[in-house]
Amino acid sequence: MRVRSLGRREFIAVLGGAAALWPLAGGADRIRRVGVLVAVSEGDSVARQIVTAYAQLLARLGWVEGKNIRIDYRFAAGEPTLFEAYAAELVGLSPDVILAGTTPAIAALREQTNKIPIVFVGVPDPVGMGFVQSLGRPGGNITGFGAVDAPIMGKRLQLLKEVAPGVTRVAGIFNPDITAPTSFRSAIEEAGPSVGIKVTFAPVHDEAGIEEAIAAQAREPGGGLVSLPDSFIGSHRDVIIAAAIRHRLPLMGYARFGGLIEYWFNPVDVQALAASYIDRILRGTSPADLPVQQPTKFSLVINLKTAKALGLTVPPGMLDLADEVIE
């Protein structure tokens, strides 16, 4: 594996310096409580990274678990009913602030409370979905970090075509029960003709549906896949990747886990940024005064092992552009 750009150490160093400047709110003997509603399952590797990042970064900011903070985690595994149940559980614990991963988590929590501060991550179009009044002045009890703008979805399709030029048809896999802006699907459809790709969408609700949709896409030549960002798809990442490889379909998404190519922000980095907002809220800042931030750094990841399995030769120019190449 070759990695060209990281930057998390610098971010941690900044947070570590900030911790020395701000005294703890409410007295050193007060245990503050933070709820975390994670979109994926507890055993997922990304979930483990998130839990580790939260604990480490909050500790650098002066919040040490067992000393002055308690963190309660719930893992919804991409299941809509679990988001609702765990949102109610966390609100029932009366935490000082709740961290919510992805759209279904924030939607479920909003139904439970309009008082407890909530910080979200990975939510596309939070204004359009009614979670905040504006990006600059969110108002209410909710703020956080968005996902991506719609044009990025079109860019992902273009990059897939450059790595797999034989792709002429792409199916976008998503779960219609998980709220996601139609602008994402529109951006992919609009980008299709410009790169010679016909775009369709494959709504799925379970693993059997995933298998069926991918098998159907493979019945004719020139097929490819694009994963749309929702918590269900993320929780069923391994099923999608295995089926894509088995049916020899290039997949845009999850290249670090076996997909062909990925152009996305690092979810662990973005969720680590949320620790700074958790800290500020615990120290007395209102979420209404914390602007919603959007990702500004995206990484291009290419999996050469998967490319070889699919019989693809990645153009040298694409390898030069990649931030990470998995060999």
pLDDT digit string, tens, across residues 277-316: 999 999 999 999 999 998 878 899 999 999 999 999 999 9
Q: How confident is the model at residue 1 (pLDDT cuts 50, 70, 90)?
A: very low
The whole-number average pLDDT for the span 149-165 is 90
pLDDT digits (tens, 9 = 90+) for 76-124: 998 889 999 999 999 999 999 999 988 889 999 999 999 999 999 888 7
pLDDT at 270 (0 to 100): 76
Tens-place pLDDT, residues 240-252:
999 999 999 999 9
Three-state secondary structure call for residue 309: helix
Domains, the chain, with CATH or none: 2-146+266-289 (3.40.50.2300), 151-263+299-326 (3.40.50.2300)
**Residue carrying the six token digits 């896949």:** 225
Residue 118 CA to residue 17 CA, distance in Å, equals 25
Report the candidate in 115, 104, 116, 195 with the shortest Cα–Cα distance to residue 147: 104
Residue 303: its pLDDT value, please?
Answer: 97
Of 50, 49, 48, 60, nearest to 17 by C-alpha is 60
pLDDT given at position 181 = 62
Q: What order of strands is seen across the sheet that includes strand 2-3? A: 2-3, 324-326, 299-303, 261-264, 251-252, 223-227, 169-174, 198-203
The mean of the pLDDT values for the chain is 87
Residues 42-84 have pLDDT tens digits of: 988 888 888 888 888 899 999 999 899 999 999 999 888 999 9
Nearest to 142 by CA among 110, 102, 94, 104: 110
